[in-house]
């Protein structure tokens, strides 16, 4: 079963009744700790979203430990990263490579195995692999000869089906094979896949895993979707002022933070998206987008909230 599939007159079954909503703004940056990681929580009973340990500089290993050991029951976790790579466009993650994995979980395992010696759950060994580097655009003008799909018209690289759906909302996704530029998400996605692999199935990852009847559940998020829903233009989705954050929370029907002053865009992304998840999680249709086939679910996954 993919997502919340048909039952009853509406054609959909209700999603789980989550009680906690956690949004994690992720980072693929080098080093033992990442200033770009922020973890926010919104409770089902209302109130403003809050940062979990706001003074902490999280590491990727810290987040893995939190997910394994400290996550409240019945929690929907949104991870701001790509949970897989493009597959549908070429029928493979790495067309032409004989060891290309068959599905997303096998991809996570391959990444984690190749990067086993990389500190801090980083993924440098994967993108520098003599065969796999051919599929990535890296710094220094190093674009692999397989970065583009054969006969590709889009010079930005390969995209998943869900990323094309994001574009329909006005978002501007980057290819997960692109590792260049401030907005690239490739490094974040690869490091995140190492974390997903190390969870070892402890928490279902929708839609690669079927949506269970109760939490916890992990879903991919794209924080620009929550910003667009909160009436922010996709091109100005980043919020760095608490008054602007409160205005966006108000649009989502959330209680405000109630303070003034600056806020990092990492913190505001996590806070706003936690509040958005609280409102969006109960919309059954978001768990069953029309283009989400069983094959796409198993290979590419999906971004929660993309149509």
Query: Counting every residue, how long is the chain?
Result: 307
At residue 24, φ and ψ (nearest 5 deg) are: -120, 115
Q: Measured in whole angstroms, how far is the alpha carbon of residue 292 from the centre of its chain?
A: 16
pTM to 2 decimal places: 0.93
Distance between CA 147 and CA 127 in Å, rounded? 12
- The answer to whether 231 touches 107, Cβ cutoff 8 Å, is no
Q: Show pLDDT as tens, one digit a residue, over the chain (307 residues).
A: 344 443 333 457 788 999 999 999 999 999 999 999 999 999 999 999 999 999 999 999 999 999 999 998 899 999 999 999 999 999 999 999 999 999 999 999 999 999 999 999 999 999 999 999 999 998 888 899 999 987 777 778 999 999 999 998 888 888 999 998 776 788 999 999 999 999 999 999 999 999 998 879 999 999 999 999 998 876 677 899 999 999 999 999 999 999 999 999 999 999 999 999 999 999 999 999 999 999 999 999 999 999 9
- The answer to whether 271 touches 294, Cβ cutoff 8 Å, is no
Distance between CA 37 and CA 57 in Å, rounded? 7
Neighbours of 10 (CB within 10 A): 10
As a dihedral over the C-alpha atoms of residue 143, residue 146, residue 151, residue 156, rounded to 10 degrees, the angle is -40
Q: Measured in whole angstroms, how far is the alpha carbon of residue 53 from the centre of its chain?
A: 21
Q: What's the CA angle centered on 128, arms 125 and 129, to 5 degrees?
A: 80
Query: Which distant-in-sequence residues (6+ apart) come within 8 Å of 274 by Cβ?
Result: 21, 22, 23, 40, 41, 42, 49, 78
């Amino acid at each position: 079963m993919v997502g919340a599939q048909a039952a009853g007159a509406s054609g959909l079954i209700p999603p789980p009744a989550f009680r906690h909503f956690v949004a994690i703004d992720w980072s693929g940056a080098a080093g033992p700790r990442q200033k770009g990681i922020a973890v926010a929580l919104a409770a089902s009973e209302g109130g403003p979203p809050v940062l979990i340990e706001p003074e902490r500089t999280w590491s990727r290993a810290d987040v893995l430990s939190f997910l394994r050991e400290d996550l409240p029951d019945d929690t929907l976790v949104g991870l701001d990263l790509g949970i897989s790579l493009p597959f549908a466009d070429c029928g493979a993650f790495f067309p032409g490579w004989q060891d290309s994995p068959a599905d997303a979980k096998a991809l996570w395992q391959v990444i984690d195995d190749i990067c086993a010696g990389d500190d801090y759950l980083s993924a440098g060994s994967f993108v520098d692999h003599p065969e796999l580097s051919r599929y990535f655009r890296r710094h220094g003008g190093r674009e692999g000869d397989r970065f583009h799909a054969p006969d590709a018209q889009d010079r930005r690289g390969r995209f998943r089906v869900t990323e094309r759906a994001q574009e329909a909302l006005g978002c501007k996704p980057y290819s997960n094979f692109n590792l260049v530029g401030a907005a690239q998400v490739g490094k974040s996605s690869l490091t995140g896949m190492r974390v997903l692999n190390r969870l070892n199935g402890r928490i279902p990852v929708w839609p690669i895993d079927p949506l269970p009847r109760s939490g916890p559940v992990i879903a991919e998020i794209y924080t620009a979707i929550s910003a667009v829903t909160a009436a922010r233009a996709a091109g100005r989705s980043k919020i760095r002022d608490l008054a602007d954050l409160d205005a966006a929370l108000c649009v989502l029907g959330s209680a405000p933070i109630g303070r003034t002053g600056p806020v990092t865009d990492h913190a505001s992304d996590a806070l706003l998206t936690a509040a958005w998840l609280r409102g969006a999680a109960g919309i059954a249709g978001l768990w069953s987008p029309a283009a989400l086939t069983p094959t796409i679910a198993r290979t590419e996954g999906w971004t929660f909230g993309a149509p």
